[in-house]
Amino acid sequence: MFRMFDDHFVRKQISLCSSYKMEKLSNEGEVLGTYTVTVPSCWQSTIGLEDFRGQCRYSKKINTNGGNIRFVFKGVSHTADVYFDGKHIAHHYNAYTPFDALALGVSAGEHELQIVADNRFSEDSTLHIPNDYYSYGGITRPVIMEEIGDAYIEYLHITPIKLQNSWEAKIEVLIKSLKDDNNLSLKVEVLDKVLDFDVKFCDGEYKAVSSVAFENVNVWSIENPNLYIAKARLYNADMVIDDLLERFGFREIKTEGRKILLNGKQLFIKGFNRHEDFGGIGCAIPENIMNMDIDIILSTGANLIRTSHYPNDERFLDLCDERGVLVWEEAHARQIFLETMSLPNFRKQSANCIEEMITSHYNHPSIILWGILNECDTYSDYAVECYIAQIDQIKSLDKSRPTTQATDKFFKDKTHGLPDIISFNIYDKWYANNNPKAHLDEIKKYVDNNGGNDKPMLISEFGAAAIYGYRSFSEVKWSEERQAKVIYELIDDYSSIDYLSGVIIWQYADARVDSEFREWNSRPKAQNNKGIVDCYRQPKMSYYAVKNSFSKIPTYKK
């Protein structure tokens, strides 16, 4: 229910995916209405709250055997305050990354868990801002209650390293102590290797780091997404007091000049941008819809999904691991300009998102790229400092994957020297009438003279809009015919350009937008209609055009 594989056999986990009392609150905290809802969900799925931007309080009685309780929230949109028997135990900002809340030394019996979720816009919120996607409200991803001892395993990271004729796996385990107890030991099993560590806490933590070598492994690839399980067990004397299993894959992703190499083979990325959004359900997408989305995307011949513009639900990433779908995972940001980037909370909220994203999603072999700051300010001095800080932070957390940022500042971008891969969002034939190839050649000249020379290049967004069901012999704008024609022609244009390493269509499915703001108030149906399927995954003509086109383009360049 939380992962697509069993990640604990010893740690007791209880699902709190259930029914809750939900109270709609005024800005002053008075109760305006009371509802029964199920979690995970968006309150926009509750009649009368479809457009509510504010705060709701969720309440639930829980029963426990007592001791130390750890609540794990996989996603609360967009700001959460957690209370246990009325005591505030956690605060978290950002809908798209997990966090935990601890209640220590709890008596056995019934207690009350409350979560106030808040999706309001204000200067305190620098990532969830009015946008061309919707910041929903609610407990939108799973909630788990864990009964833990005086120490527990926080994470187990496995880094696969390709050697000349063999592989190495770097292991890193972080253990948290709730009271310093130095009689603990740790055992980590990876394939047929077993590593033993004596746990010595310092400031409430212990980090175990080691490496193991392997002669022969089954490599993770698009065609054969082979996965392995690593096991960490924490012992007090001979008794196992906690465990954590993690799934990983042996694959190598790197750049070499203009090439992106997956296991030494040069990739041509054929992808889609995908928002976590489904008609009437919002961002609280159930697993079967996640899997259906992968079915539809793979059926077109695509090989990558960009999690535009925020970290995704880990169950979706688990499915991408299992099904050999490449992922560009992106830290939360879309069109954040200098004024917002300069707000007091921006750098901390961005740094927290990046740390939580990489710490929780580190082991997914499907993730081949970390992306940041989609179409943000890439030329003001302070903004460029923010780019530098974010790329440096990613590299400090994970050196095994390349970085990129999708920009639409074609001839004034000052950040091309920072990421490993250069990515552009270009809407020729929709927002502009340029000749796509000539326009891209011009952009490339600027990139090559401004820090991006000899780096792989991607078209991270291109596309056109269509209203599902609007057909026209005249191929008029907003018709399905026009969208199919534009996308088909652009794929044809771009896929023949030798210096490009791939194209990513904007977008997979129609998705809700903040229709009270900016130019998004003119978007029909209050949606971004550039999906090749509508918000219920009904195919437009462009789905068939992409299928016809992508299926003819090989995933690997000669």
Of residues 55 and 131, the one with the C-beta less far from ligand ADA: 131
Least CB distance from residue 401 to ligand ADA, whole Å?
21
Contacts by 377-381, CB closer than 8 A, 24 or more apart: 377/336, 377/337, 377/338, 377/341, 378/405, 378/407, 378/409, 378/412, 378/413, 378/414, 378/415, 379/409, 379/412, 379/413, 379/414, 380/338
Other C-beta atoms lying within 10 Å of the C-beta of residue 524: 13
CA-CA distance, 179 to 152, in Å (whole number)?
11
Rg (CA), the chain: 24
Summarize as ranges the residues that interact with ligand ADA (CB under 6 A): 132, 308, 334, 374-375, 408, 425, 461, 506, 528, 530
Residue 102 CA: distances (Å) to CA of 87, 145, 452, 534, 544: 11, 10, 46, 41, 50
Least CB distance from residue 524 to ligand ADA, whole Å?
13
Interstrand relation of 228-236 and 184-190 (parallel, antiparallel or unpaired): antiparallel
SS3 78: coil
Of residues 137 and 463, the one with the C-beta less far from ligand ADA: 463
Of residues 140 and 423, the one with the C-beta less far from ligand ADA: 423
Of residues 236 and 335, the one with the C-beta less far from ligand ADA: 335
Of residues 64 and 403, the one with the C-beta less far from ligand ADA: 403
What single string gives the DSSP state of each residue in 5-19? Answer: S---SSSEEEE--SE
Tell me 327's DSSP state.
E
Least CB distance from residue 551 to ligand ADA, whole Å?
25
Of residues 157 and 334, the one with the C-beta less far from ligand ADA: 334
Of residues 194 and 432, the one with the C-beta less far from ligand ADA: 432
Chain position whose Cβ is nearest to ligand ADA: 132
Of residues 204 and 524, the one with the C-beta less far from ligand ADA: 524
Burial of 51 (0-12, 13-18, 19+ CB in 10 A): exposed
CA-CA distance, 241 to 149, in Å (whole number)?
7
Least CB distance from residue 415 to ligand ADA, whole Å?
16
Interstrand relation of 304-306 and 326-330 (parallel, antiparallel or unpaired): parallel
Least CB distance from residue 508 to ligand ADA, whole Å?
12
CA-CA distance, 227 to 390, in Å (whole number)?
30
Least CB distance from residue 262 to ligand ADA, whole Å?
25
CA-CA distance, 79 to 77, in Å (whole number)?
6
Of residues 20 and 506, the one with the C-beta less far from ligand ADA: 506
Residue 68 CA: distances (Å) to CA of 87, 142, 145, 160, 455: 15, 20, 10, 34, 50
Of residues 99 and 506, the one with the C-beta less far from ligand ADA: 506
Of residues 41 and 126, the one with the C-beta less far from ligand ADA: 126
What single string gives the DSSP state of each residue in 32-77? Answer: EEEEEEESS--GGGSTT-TT--SEEEEEEEEEE-SEEEEEEES--B
Least CB distance from residue 506 to ligand ADA, whole Å?
5
Strand order in the sheet with 253-256: 253-256, 259-262, 265-266
* Cα 84 → chain centroid: 29
Burial of 195 (0-12, 13-18, 19+ CB in 10 A): middle
Phi, psi of 20 (to 5 degrees): -135, 155
Of residues 37 and 457, the one with the C-beta less far from ligand ADA: 457
Of residues 67 and 130, the one with the C-beta less far from ligand ADA: 130
Tell me which residue of 300, 291, 249 sits closest to 271, measured CA to CA: 300
Tell me which residue of 187, 25, 137, 132 sits closest to 465, measured CA to CA: 132
Q: Give Cβ neighbours of residue 492 (< 8 Å, ≥ 6 apart).
A: 549
CA-CA distance, 113 to 63, in Å (whole number)?
10
Report residue 169 as tokens: 């796996």
